[in-house]
Amino acid sequence: MPGLGLVGSCVSRDIWDVLRLPPPAMAFFAHTTIPSLAAAPLPLAPSVQGPGPVGFGAWCIEADVTKAALPALEAARPDALVFDLVDDRFDLRCIGRSVVLDSPGFHASRFAAHEPFRSGRVVPALSDEAGAIWQAGLERLAARITDGPLAGCRIGFHHCPWATHYVAGGIHAFAPEVDLFMGHPASITAHNDLLARRRDAFAAAFPGAAVIEASAEVRLADAAHIWGLAPFHFVPGYYRDVLQRFQEAGLLLAPAPDFENGAADGPTPPQPAAAGVGEAGRPTHVQRRTARRSRPVR
């Protein structure tokens, strides 16, 4: 059984990569959003049925489309289940009574060009309609967690507003709008307002949840980040702060490293085998990314 279930973005998963620490056993799902998790499954055309492309990103897109993530987490029954909403920067794609995240990964997937996804209706992330869809999805998810196999999980919420400044030989301010992906501008202020509203809604739906937020002093983006510069790719101090807060909130069973005495400053330790759960034995998480080059904003 994994000790940690993680639903959200690589912001939370990057804690262990950036700090060069062995990750805990976890079931990790990215490229999804709360209204998609508990949405109705969609019928798949024969052309997209069967095994798909190999790779963590492709598998996450498939889990979002087929609604496999929540059943897998329910089967795993982790000790703690943590959410972050950084992937809520992407639009929603509504198909009948269901929804998927309209992310760049989805557009590159084998599903996007086929029905019923191709004719799905795109709902902008910052729209009132997307907010209503999200709230309804949150209520469905809360009911399913409260009354289902995950009822005994410690629930956590990693609130990670976008950075307004970044480090590159000094501290610099981002422009008010940044390139989200493929020439799509995004307002840092508007997205941070969205994240704050959804943090409050999540806390209301899960009154006992541990809400984790790093100190404002370390909420700085890092031009040298392993995934490139973006307002949600942070300096190492951010991840140290969040990791310690995870531990203090009881979301991790292992003690946090002693950073003051040099922990996580040495070479990258060996990584254990993938420790996720999934349909047909497929892992939900590749424990170590091998690419270490700058990449487009995910």
177-205 pLDDT, tens digit each = 998 776 778 999 999 999 999 999 999 99
> What is the distance between the alpha carbons of residues 67 and 141, in angstroms, rounded to a whole number?
12
Q: Which residue has the tokens 């909403």?
A: 85
30-56 burial code (b ≥16 CB/10 A, e <16) = bbbbbbbbbbeebebeeebeeebeeeb
| DSSP one-letter string for 80-148 | EEEEE-GGGGSEEEEETTEEEEE-HHHHTSSSTTSTTTTTPEEE-TTSHHHHHHHHHHHHHHHHHHHHS
Please tell me the number of Cα atoms within 13 Å of 245 on its side-chain side: 20
Contact 226, 292 (CB under 8 A): yes
Contact 286, 11 (CB under 8 A): no
Averaged pLDDT of the chain: 83
pLDDT band at 99 (very low <50, low <70, confident <90, very high): very high
223-245 burial code (b ≥16 CB/10 A, e <16) = eebbbbbbbbbbbbbbbbbbbbb
Specify the pLDDT at position 258: 57
pLDDT at residue 160 is higher than 70: yes
Q: For a pLDDT cut of 90, what percent of the chain falls above it?
A: 65
Specify the pLDDT at position 184: 79
26-54 pLDDT, tens digit each = 999 999 999 999 998 887 766 665 555 55
> What is the distance between the alpha carbons of residues 153 and 169, in angstroms, rounded to a whole number?
42
* All domains in the chain, ordered by first residue: 4-281 (3.40.50)
Specify the pLDDT at position 9: 85
56-72 pLDDT, tens digit each = 778 889 899 999 999 99
> What is the distance between the alpha carbons of residues 23 and 283, in angstroms, rounded to a whole number?
15
Specify the pLDDT at position 51: 52
